[in-house]
């Protein structure tokens, strides 16, 4: 049988704090090439190769702010030409910016309460400390911690920024899904080093929490990461639903977990 042709999109030069994304891609593509014909490519160079591929896998391409027009025209071509992609470009979360945080707040999901105007601060829990982030931001670009007075002075009312209470959480954790299966969870025991992750032994309630967002979202096929924080009262709150190109920290999980992940990933690609 003919091997599937995979166009694997990534930015091997992406500079992420405390991590080298390309090492993960080298590992993953090393495994994929045992089953598929794989070529690696930066999204900015993808157009000329797309039509040849049976499937385009969108991976560690970094923040799309750096190549917004390229990204938008790529997504348009995916839709117009019906290109097969993994993830599918059908999500409601991060692949469309951070608007979904407002949507989920409105729908009473367990998410950090979010508004997009200083006029709506009274809809948030009472606090003196806020987090402000650009609606189309990622990788903490433009993220600021502000006091109540600073928020008032900024006049943040144009809908371009999201405003949240600053959560004094215990720790942050992430749940990694392939399609609708939770593969593993990791947490950051040291709040000052959020990229230093350890295995997290999740409870049934934790799984239910994370699954809620996967069920809410409309990704048919793909990898998603549910980022959350554990508030002081013990509740989990969603920080981010990464449905475009979540970094997986795959080289930091134990070998058995990683092997299961790769088997599931290969099967998911085979069936995409």
Ligand X SMILES: Nc1ncnc2c1ncn2[C@@H]1O[C@H](COP(=O)(O)OP(=O)(O)O)[C@@H](O)[C@H]1O
List residues near Mg ion by CB under 5 A. 240
Minimum CB distance to ligand X smaller for 167 or for 248: 167
Minimum CB distance to ligand X smaller for 77 or for 92: 92
Number of residues this chain uses to bind ligand X (CB under 6 A) = 16
What are the φ/ψ torsions at residue 5 (nearest 5 degrees)?
Answer: -95, 120
Minimum CB distance to ligand X smaller for 84 or for 135: 135
What SS3 class is residue 55?
strand
Q: Which of 11, 50, 116, 227 binds ligand X (CB under 6 A)?
A: 227
**Whole-number minimum distance, CB 29 to ligand X, in Å?**
25
174 scored as a contact of ligand X (CB under 6 A): no
Report how far residue 34's alpha carbon sits from residue 30's, in angstroms, rounded to the nearest whole number.
Answer: 7
**Whole-number minimum distance, CB 23 to ligand X, in Å?**
20
189 CB-side CA count, 13 A: 5
Minimum CB distance to ligand X smaller for 32 or for 238: 238
Residues 127-166, interacting with ligand X (CB under 6 A): 131, 133, 137-140, 143, 164, 166
Report how far residue 107's alpha carbon sits from residue 189's, in angstroms, rounded to the nearest whole number.
Answer: 30
Residues 6+ apart with CB under 8 A from 265: 28, 32, 178, 223
167 scored as a contact of ligand X (CB under 6 A): yes
248 scored as a contact of ligand X (CB under 6 A): no
What SS3 class is residue 162?
strand
Number of residues that make up the chain: 272
Minimum CB distance to ligand X smaller for 20 or for 231: 231
* 16 DSSP 8-state letter: B
């Amino acid at each position: 049988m003919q091997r599937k042709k995979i166009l694997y999109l990534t930015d091997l030069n992406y500079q992420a704090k405390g991590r080298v994304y390309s090492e993960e891609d080298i590992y993953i593509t090393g495994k994929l090439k045992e089953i598929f014909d794989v070529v690696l490519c930066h999204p900015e160079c993808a157009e000329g190769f797309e039509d040849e591929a049976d499937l385009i896998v969108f991976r560690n391409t970094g923040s799309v702010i750096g190549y917004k027009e390229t990204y938008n025209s790529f997504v348009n071509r995916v839709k117009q030409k019906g290109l097969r992609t993994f993830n599918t470009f059908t999500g409601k979360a991060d692949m469309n910016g951070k608007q979904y945080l407002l949507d989920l707040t409105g729908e009473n999901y367990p998410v950090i309460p979010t508004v997009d105007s200083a006029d709506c601060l009274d809809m948030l829990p009472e606090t003196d400390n806020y987090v402000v982030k650009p609606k189309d931001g990622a990788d903490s670009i433009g993220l600021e911690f502000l006091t109540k007075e600073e928020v008032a002075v900024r006049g943040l009312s144009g809908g371009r920024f999201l405003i949240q209470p600053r959560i004094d959480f215990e720790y942050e954790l992430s749940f990694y899904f392939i399609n609708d299966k939770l593969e593993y969870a990791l947490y950051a025991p040291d709040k000052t080093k959020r990229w230093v992750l350890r295995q997290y032994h999740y409870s049934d309630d934790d799984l239910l929490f994370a699954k809620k967002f996967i069920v809410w979202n409309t990704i048919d096929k793909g990898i998603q990461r549910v980022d959350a924080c554990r508030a002081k009262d013990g509740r989990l709150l969603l920080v981010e639903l990464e449905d475009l190109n979540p970094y997986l920290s795959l080289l930091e999980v134990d070998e058995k977990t990683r092997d299961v992940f790769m088997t599931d990933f290969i099967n998911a690609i085979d069936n995409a």
